[in-house]
Structures are given as structure tokens and as C-alpha cells.
Amino acid sequence: MKKTRKRYTDEFKAQAVELARSGRGVPDVARELEVEISCLYAWIRAANSQGPQVGSAGRRAVGEEAEADELRTLRGEVARLTLENDILKKAAVILGTKAPKGGAK
């Protein structure tokens, strides 16, 4: 019996890479998204070879230094959680399960 190969969209791969870059371990992200660890590492290598990533690094918070640091930290956390939520919703669709009710849309 031939094993069917799973196909993932470029958007899904990019979001998985960003999730892995957000500080969570690659094995944890791979397990959560139900992808092979080696695939996730390959996606990260491919993303790194494409050059620098455009992201929130260019944004600067205005205000006192401590408040600016906290604001940057909170913005990063919100971005990470939003990305995780989006990836989990897409994974649920791919796996044929329904996304949990409630929460953010």
C-alpha cells in the first residue's frame, strides 16, 4: 500500500516557521501542527535562504524606554498568539476537525 504524501500551502509553512521562530521549540511546534520535525526544519532552512524576513522588527514604540520595551514585548506576544491561533484553525481544517467555538474570529 502506497503512503499518500501530505501537501501544505506556502502560507501554512510560513506561519509554522514564524511560530517556530517565536521562541517555541521546533519539536513542540511540529507535534502541535502534526507535521514531521524534519519537514519543519526544512521549511525553516528554506525560509532562511530567502533572505531577511520583514516583520515587526522595524516598528518602534514611542514613549519612555521601559514602557516602549513592554509595549514591544506585548505586541510580540499578541502577534505570536494570533499566529498560533491562525495556524491551529488551519490545521483543524486540514485535519477535518472543527475549530473550537468561541474566542477570537
Show pLDDT as tens, one digit a residue, over the chain (105 residues).
666 777 888 888 888 888 888 877 889 888 888 899 999 999 999 988 876 544 444 444 455 677 877 888 888 888 889 888 988 888 888 888 665 666 555
pLDDT for the residue 58: 46
pLDDT for the residue 48: 86
Report the predicted TM-score, pTM, of the whole model to 2 decimal places: 0.48
pLDDT for the residue 102: 61
Please write down the HEC assignment for all residues of the chain. CCCCCCCCCHHHHHHHHHHHHCCCCHHHHHHHHCCCHHHHHHHHHHHHHCCCCCCHHHCCCCCCHHHHHHHHHHHHHHHHHHHHHHHHHHHHHHCCCCCCCCCCC
Query: Domain boundaries in the chain?
Result: 10-94
